[in-house]
Amino acid sequence: MDFELNYSVEQQEFRQEVRQWLKDSLDHEFLKTLPPDQEDYAEAHYEYGRQVRRMLGERGWLAPTWPKEYGGGGLTVAHQIVIEEELAEYDLPAVGDLGLTLGAPAINAWGNEEQKQRFLPPILKGEVVVWQVFTEPGAGSDLASLKTRAVEDGDDFVINGNKIFVGQKYYADYLYTLAVTDPEAPRHNNIGAFIIPAGTEGVTVHRLDLIAGGGKRAIFFDDVRVPKENLIGGKGKGWWVAQTTLELEHGGGGRVTPRNRLVDQFLKYAKSAKLNGQVISADSRKQEILVDAYIQANVIRLLGLRNYWQRNAGVRQTYEGSQLSMNNKVFMPRLASMMLEVLGPYALTKDATWGPARGEIENWQRQSTATHPGGTIEIQKVIMARSMGLSRGRG
């Protein structure tokens, strides 16, 4: 089976336009100062990430295939592929906006017209950052057990509860969250999905010190008043709103990223640096590991491409999203072990002189432990078993 892409003349011309624009518009010197771990970002890195998103949004390149009336580019999937491939050439500061990839599709599917007009354009134009705030201390894999409570009071809901492992180091504009609206209703029919302005009184954000870094936060809601018009999909429908998000987060949307930049850097370093007087990649055992890393990265890339194609071609998916996610998550710590075996103790330092790839490899030794976002490896297996009819049905 050949999943590779062939490009039309129009795509190739568009690629030149995007490439030139990125070359002219990005601050390449500033990008060289970007630390690998988001927890180490200065506010200027975060702000620059937001600025780049706004610049892309103005051109319709942040959400290329979304309709223009909602702030998208009104472009084709072919354009989107080119944009994503060209953006993948750069390390851009992550701003942790899950609103674009995960929140907007749910608002589009479940929101009323007024909500779409209000929330989608700023998200799709990169004017705001939205955090996905679902997980609670007792509700991660078993998300439907969440306890955060939303009680109706006049024109508002009043929300109380706490969330964990969410957000990023710097601030967001909106929080996309879930809370119990109907405590007496059956499981899955008792939850509401809310978009909360992040600055609302009663919202507190606390730093978490995770070995994986990444700038994750805990959030507390204390009598947070949210207008009823910020409830997406209606009372008791939040579980289904969240399913639109989770389906994508589990890998159903696929991706067209042409390369694994970290694996590229690993190979580049091994081909150029010396250990005990010998170029690292000259060692035959290490060659095997390097080739294995390259192959694994490309297997995952092709699974992502297949899912991307399926989603855009309207093909009904069953296990494919979680298959991509599981393969990626299994590879993450494995790649860290490969790096450690090939580079030895150099893989463990971000020292300016001794740390390979500006500390990216050291960062990966820690970051690769975080295989939880969007569901653990075990949960991906559970989802696959259910969608293949091997376990109890979905619901």
Ligand X SMILES: Cc1cc2nc3c(=O)[nH]c(=O)nc-3n(C[C@H](O)[C@H](O)[C@H](O)COP(=O)(O)OP(=O)(O)OC[C@H]3O[C@@H](n4cnc5c(N)ncnc54)[C@H](O)[C@@H]3O)c2cc1C
Shortest Cβ 300–ligand X spacing (Å): 19
Cβ distance to ligand X smaller for residue 208 or 302: 208
In the bound state, the residue with its beta carbon closest to ligand X is 140
135 lies in the site for ligand X, by CB under 6 A: yes
92: left (phi over 0), alpha (psi -120 to 50) or beta: beta
15 lies in the site for ligand X, by CB under 6 A: no
List Cα–Cα distances, 313 to 254, 270, 316, 370, in angstroms. 12, 40, 9, 32
Q: Taking CB under 6 A as the criterion, which residues in 362-381 touch ligand X?
A: 370, 372-373, 375-376, 378-379
Shortest Cβ 385–ligand X spacing (Å): 10
212 lies in the site for ligand X, by CB under 6 A: yes
Tell me which of 157, 165, 170, 239 binds ligand X, using CB under 6 A.
165
Q: How many CB atoms lie within 10 A of CB 353?
A: 5
Looking at residue 316, the DSSP 8-state letter turns out to be P
What is the C-alpha to C-alpha distance for residues 18 and 82, in angstroms, rounded to an integer?
Answer: 8
333 lies in the site for ligand X, by CB under 6 A: no
132 lies in the site for ligand X, by CB under 6 A: yes
Residues in contact with ligand X, shown as a per-residue x/- string from 55 to 94 under the rule CB under 6 A: ----------------------------------------
Q: Taking CB under 6 A as the criterion, which residues in 267-306 touch ligand X?
A: none
Are 125 and 54 in contact by the 8 Å Cβ rule? The answer is: yes
Query: Which pair of tokens denotes residue 232?
Result: 């997406």
Length of the chain: 395
214 lies in the site for ligand X, by CB under 6 A: yes
Spell out the residues 6+ positions from residue 38 whose beta carbon is closer than 8 angstroms to its own: 94, 96, 168, 169, 213, 214, 215
Shortest Cβ 167–ligand X spacing (Å): 7
Q: What share of the chain is helix, strand, coil (3-state, %, to 5)?
A: 50, 15, 35
Interface residues toward ligand X, by CB under 6 A: 98, 132-135, 140-141, 165-166, 212, 214, 216, 370, 372-373, 375-376, 378-379, 382
